[in-house]
């Protein structure tokens, strides 16, 4: 599935306020109807009941959820770690450039490992919804290469025709959200190089449950 889209925001770090006036700083990960999932400045993941937060913070969270709903996003499993593997380029150098050059293992440009963290209970995926890995490419180095997603040693999804400077979804089976809360994917491509944007560029990979526009009521 290919479509044009503005760059998606990375997790938002802000100062949060409890109703009793205490404050803390953390990065927004995801929110259910009653629980806010966060990551602290040292990487610790934790959750806070929405009812414990100030009205201003509640309005902020509602705005984020409303934004996702308008884009057809039902659930979001945050990316907690990404590793680029290449003989030519380190992960840190790739992050500085803002993209990971991914192609086939035989050409040794690079492959990408993504680790996601599922917060809370396993999301239920309705018949009119689907699980997708959403990727954004850098605005140069266009390709018609196939991007493959491997999970547990098996290929579970692929898409051909990654756009240059665009967004695309790779449909995945809903079973990836079941079982372990830690979900690890390995991405590789074909002979052409795909430049996948990094989280540090502000447009990293996302694991989503979406309701495609044509299926929305």
Domain ranges of the chain: 2-73, 76-215
What is the full DSSP assignment across the chain? -EE--PPPP-PPEEEEEBTTS-EEEEEEEEE-SSEEEEEETTS-EEEEEGGGB-HHHHHHHHHHHHHHHHTTEEEEE-EEEEEEE-SS--HHHHHHHTEEEE--GGGTS-EEEEEEE--SSPPP--TT-EEEEEEEB-SSS---PEEEEEETTEEEEEEE-PPTT-EEEEEE-GGGGSS-SEEEEEEE--SS-EEEEPGGGT---EEEEE--GGG--
The tokens describing 107, both together, are 């050409």
> Tokens 């509640």 sit at which residue?
58
| pLDDT score of 107 | 57
- In 10 A of CB 59, how many CB atoms? 10
Ordered per-residue pLDDT tens for the chain, 217 residues: 333 333 334 467 899 999 999 999 998 888 888 889 888 888 788 899 999 999 999 999 999 888 888 889 988 898 888 999 888 888 899 888 889 988 865 556 788 999 998 887 888 899 999 999 999 988 876 566 789 999 999 999 998 887 778 889 999 999 999 988 899 999 988 778 888 998 877 678 999 999 987 554 4
Q: How far apart, in whole angstroms, are the C-alpha atoms of residue 183 and residue 179? A: 9
Q: How far apart, in whole angstroms, are the C-alpha atoms of residue 126 and residue 142? A: 34
- In 10 A of CB 150, how many CB atoms? 17
Question: CATH fold of 76-215, please?
Answer: Jelly Rolls (2.60.120)
Q: Exposed, middle or buried, 172 (CB in 10 Å: 0-12/13-18/19+)? A: buried
Which of 121, 110, 39 has the alpha carbon at shortest distance from 81?
39
Question: CATH fold of 2-73, please?
Answer: SH3 type barrels. (2.30.30)
| pLDDT score of 4 | 32
Identical fold, 2-73 and 76-215: no
Q: Is the CB of residue 167 less than 8 Å from the CB of residue 139?
A: no
Which of 199, 197, 135 has the alpha carbon at shortest distance from 169?
135
- In 10 A of CB 41, how many CB atoms? 10
The model carries a pTM of: 0.81
């Amino acid at each position: 599935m290919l479509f044009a889209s503005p760059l998606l925001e990375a997790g938002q770090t802000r100062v949060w306020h409890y109703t009793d006036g205490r404050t803390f700083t953390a990065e927004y990960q995801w929110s259910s109807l009653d629980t806010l999932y966060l990551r602290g400045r040292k990487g610790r993941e934790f959750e806070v009941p929405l009812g414990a937060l100030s009205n201003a913070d509640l309005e902020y969270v509602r705005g984020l959820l409303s934004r996702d709903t308008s884009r057809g996003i039902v659930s979001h499993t945050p990316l907690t770690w990404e590793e680029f593997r290449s003989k030519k380029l380190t992960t840190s150098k790739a992050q500085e450039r803002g993209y990971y050059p991914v192609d086939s293992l035989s050409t040794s440009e690079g492959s990408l490992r993504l680790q996601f963290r599922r917060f809370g209970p396993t999301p239920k995926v309705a018949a009119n919804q689907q699980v997708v890995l959403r990727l954004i490419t850098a605005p140069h180095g266009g390709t018609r290469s196939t991007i493959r997603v491997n999970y547990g040693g098996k290929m579970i999804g692929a898409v051909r025709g990654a756009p240059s400077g665009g967004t695309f979804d790779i449909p995945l089976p809903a079973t990836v959200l079941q079982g372990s809360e830690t979900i690890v994917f390995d991405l590789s491509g074909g002979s052409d190089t795909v430049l996948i944007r990094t989280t540090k560029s502000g447009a990293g990979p996302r694991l989503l449950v979406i309701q495609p526009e044509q299926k929305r009521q």
